[in-house]
């Protein structure tokens, strides 16, 4: 089985640099349904990460009371979008202002994270959908599809179980752990390693979901050119790990503790380093 990894050079070749004729709509609009009254911070983290990756607009359609005041640039009304980010910090369907069926049936790329994973049920998804479970959520996802598997088993063989979940759901599955494993429904696998263990902190998954949502939006705005959603999920994992390393000072030693928002804040500098390697 061949395993790939995304690198700086790969991202630099793909990344869409805005031109003189671009505007917020040509750069892509991401619809975000994350956060809730119970978990308001998840909306802040996912939206912040998405904004840091440069879509033309983020429509925030979640119910977190913190997002609009933290990010006044988001647009809190329904309208056209090029991709969706669903589920971070949502624990009940009443927090969903956009029905899951609307997202699944739209034909648009989408990320399903955290609570969104519990809402997809037995739906057959598509290779432009990305599921972002941690090992425990992956075990739950597989059990919901009839597989008798524990978290410990998943952790002992993340590649096999991530591939199985992709095959059973029809979606790209990105299992986030010390090494991130991404698989598509036909068996392609990416492994992204090298991230500091300081990255293992509450909210880091919300940041990752925001990154992937933004990358899917940029991709859709380019009419899905050059790469696929599995590559984008791997690129998102790579950016997430690089940003965590920068935030934690782990590039020149053991580093130090960070919080999830530090990862989001480091995305801009990391993208700058990648796109401008001679600076």
Which residues participate in the annotated binding site for (6S)-NADPHX?
42, 89, 134, 206
Distance CA(162)–CA(132), nearest Å, equals 10
Residue 4's DSSP bridge partners are 190
Other beta carbons less than 10 A from residue 274's beta carbon: 18
172 DSSP 8-state letter: E
Annotated binding site for AMP: 205
- Among 218, 227, 225, which residue's Cα sits nearest to residue 57? 218
**Which helix (H) or strand (E) is 126 found in, with range?**
none
Sheet with 3-4, strands from edge to edge, namely: 3-4, 189-192, 180-183, 172-175, 129-131, 110-112, 83-86, 29-33, 57-60
User: Can you count the helices (H) and strands (E) in the chain?
Assistant: 11, 9
75 DSSP 8-state letter: B
Annotated binding site: 42, 89, 134, 205-206
């Amino acid at each position: 089985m061949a395993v790939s990894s995304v690198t700086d050079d790969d991202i630099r070749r793909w990344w869409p640099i805005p031109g003189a004729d671009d505007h917020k709509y040509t750069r892509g609009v991401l619809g975000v349904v994350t956060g809730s009254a119970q978990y308001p911070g998840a909306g802040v983290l996912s939206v912040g990460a998405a904004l840091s990756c440069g879509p033309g607009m983020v429509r925030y359609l979640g119910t977190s009371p913190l997002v609009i005041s933290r990010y006044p640039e988001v647009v809190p009304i329904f309208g056209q979008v090029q991709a969706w980010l669903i589920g971070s910090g949502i624990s009940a369907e009443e927090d969903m202002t956009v029905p899951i069926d609307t997202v699944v049936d739209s034909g648009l790329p989408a990320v399903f994270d955290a609570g969104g994973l519990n809402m997809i049920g037995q739906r057959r998804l598509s290779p432009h959908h990305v599921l972002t479970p941690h090992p425990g959520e992956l075990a739950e996802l597989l059990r919901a599809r009839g597989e008798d598997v524990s978290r410990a088993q998943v952790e002992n063989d993340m590649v096999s179980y991530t591939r199985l979940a992709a095959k059973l759901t029809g979606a790209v599955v990105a299992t986030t752990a010390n090494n991130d494993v991404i698989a598509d429904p036909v068996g392609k696998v990416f492994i992204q390693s090298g991230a500091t263990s300081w990255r293992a902190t509450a909210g880091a998954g919300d940041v990752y979901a925001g990154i992937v949502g933004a990358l899917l939006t940029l991709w859709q705005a380019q009419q899905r050119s050059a790469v696929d959603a599995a590559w984008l999920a791997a690129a998102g994992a790579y950016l997430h790990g690089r940003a965590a390393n920068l935030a934690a000072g782990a590039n020149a030693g053991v580093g130090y503790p960070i919080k999830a928002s530090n990862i989001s804040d480091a995305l801009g500098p990391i993208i700058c380093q990648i796109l401008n390697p001679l600076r």
